[in-house]
Every structure is written in C-alpha cells, then in structure tokens.
Amino acid sequence: MPKITTNFTPNLPFRNPHFNTIYRPLFMRDTISYERKRVITWDNDFIDLDFSCIGSDTLVLLIHGLEGSSNSNYMITTSKQLNKNGYDTVCMNLRGCSGEDNLLLRTYHSGKTDDVDFIINYLCQEYQYKNILIIGFSLGGNLALKYLGEYDAIPEQIKGGIAISVPIDLTASQAELAKFKNKIYLTEFLRTMKLKLLKKSEKFPDFKLDKKLLFKATRFRHIEKQYTVPVFGFESSEDYWKKASSKPYIPNIKHTTLLINSLDDSFLTKECYPYSEAENSTNFYLLTPNYGGHVGFLSSFSNSHNYWLEQKIIDFINEKVILT
C-alpha cells in the first residue's frame, strides 16, 4: 500500500492555500546558471533544454507547468537542491516556453507526451547517464505520469518519476479552475496564452483566429475551441480533457513513482487524489499533505526553511528509487 504520510505543518500564513500558491512566484527570488542546449525535433522544430550539472551519473529531467519555464522558481530551487545532493539536472522547456517562440503552429498541451518521449530518448542516446529520473510540476507532472503509464518501450536508464500538484483528471480540474476562488490564476494563464496565440496568428496567416472571441475568452475551453482542439486534432474540449488526463494511465506505471498533491490545492478536486490506485500498486506512491497549495509547499518567510518539497523529492529518490 504505497501511501506516504507526512506531518507538514507550515507557519500560519502559509496554511492558507492561496497565500502558499502565490508567494512562491511573486516573492521567491533565486537564481541558477544553466547551460542551454537546443534540440532539433523530428518535425523540424526545436526544444530548449537547460542543464545544471555537477558531474553525476544520475540526471533528473524536470518539466514545468502551464506557461512556466526553466526559470520558474520551483524549477530553479529543485534543480539547485538536487545539485547539492549529488544529482545533475536538465529542465525541459516545453515548445514556446523558453523565451523564444517555436517554429511551428503547434506548441504543447497537457497530454503531449511525444515530446517527452523524444527528449528522453535524446538524453539516453547523447549522454552516458546510468540513471534518469523524471520530475514534473502541475501540467508537467501530468505529462510525466502519462508518459510513464502510456509508453511500453521506456529506456532502461529511466528509474522512476515524481509528480507535484497534478490535475490528473483534466475534466474535473478545468471546471474547478473556472470557479471564482481561482479567478486570479485563470486570468493570468489566459493572459499569457492569448498573447502567444496572437503571435501565432501573425506568424501563420492560414491559422484562422477569431480575435474578438479570443479577447473575450474567460475559460480554457474558449482557448481550446480555437486552438488546442483544431490544431491537435481533438474532437472537442471534452475529448481533449479525456485523452490528455494522466489518471487512466496510473495503473500501468511500472517504475517507482511518487505523486504529491496537497489536500488544500484549489486547482484540484477529489478525482485528483488516486488513493485506490496507490493502494492497488506496488510502485506508485501517493503523498497528500494537508497544506501546500498549488506548487507551493512553503512553510515560512525564511528561505533557509522553505525546502520541504525539495527534501521530499530527494528523500524519495534516496529511499525508494533503485539507482545503478
């Protein structure tokens, strides 16, 4: 029964899920020196990888969340703590998220695991790492879980995965995000997505974008109707949510894997806490602390005491994942 318990109890203001969620991107200032490698994809596009290496034989691939990048605070802090504990890291910037627009009309979506598979095979072929681990945050966590349960031919170097704050059921989560309590987050997501789509419409004149409808968009389905559904070949938003969700793939995961979803995450619903899947698995672990918000997991205003999440990641790798 791979269910992990925890006694994570942050200081009072961080027990508020919105405070914990917002504090990290707005007030956590950390820096890291990456070495960028641009990888040309099979479809003549590119994906930018940002490495932070210390000479380890184990590499951790990190995948950011919706509209994030390798410069998102959770990517930087996790990379730095992994480096301090003896692991190399590489941050995968999803298409169009590295600070430069990608070449194609297609960018990324919550279930686009072909890019993850491509990058993993690239890392295995081009580098001599004995072990590779996958860590994904939010949308990136959905990609990590879906990949681990969807693909049969996973390279032997892959030893396990960790996913944090993951909306594993997109149908339920998108409805939850549309509620008033999450308006500030949804508005910011839509703002950056709208800007990117406007650039795409200028770059690809044949892409028929209804700008009036775009400006009026207040829910993800409004964006998906104009972009995700037609560009990626889904039948509808409902079809996209169903096919892109990682939850149905969790029972197929054969690698040692951990999902950390806080119980107060305002993005998630009861469908996003796969207790039965964890109970019926020998290698899928579930950790559900009472607090943490969405990709927050901060405990105080002191930076030196704000690595609960990073420590849980490192503990799981050291204690549960078998490295060669």
Please compute Rg for the chain using Cα positions: 19
- What pLDDT band is residue 302 in, cutting at 50, 70 and 90? confident
Q: Are 10 and 299 in contact (CB under 8 A)?
A: yes
Sheet strand arrangement including 131-137:
3-4, 284-287, 256-260, 158-164, 131-137, 58-63, 88-93, 46-52, 35-40
pLDDT at position 126: 98
Sign of CA dihedral 133, 56, 287, 13: negative
pLDDT at position 122: 98
Alpha-carbon distance of 143 to 318, in angstroms, equals 23
The per-residue pLDDT for range 130-139, each reduced to its tens digit, is 999 999 999 9
What would the two tokens of residue 123 be? Answer: 């890392």
pLDDT at position 137: 98
- What pLDDT band is residue 296 in, cutting at 50, 70 and 90? very high
- What pLDDT band is residue 1 in, cutting at 50, 70 and 90? low
- What pLDDT band is residue 306 in, cutting at 50, 70 and 90? confident
Residue 195 to residues 125, 144, 248, 261, 278: CA-CA distances in angstroms?
A: 36, 27, 32, 30, 39
* Residue percentage of the chain with pLDDT more than 90: 95
Q: Are 152 and 255 in contact (CB under 8 A)?
A: no
Higher pLDDT, 235 or 301: 235
Over range 107-112, report the average pLDDT: 98
pTM of the model: 0.97
pLDDT at position 2: 72
* Residue percentage of the chain with pLDDT more than 70: 98
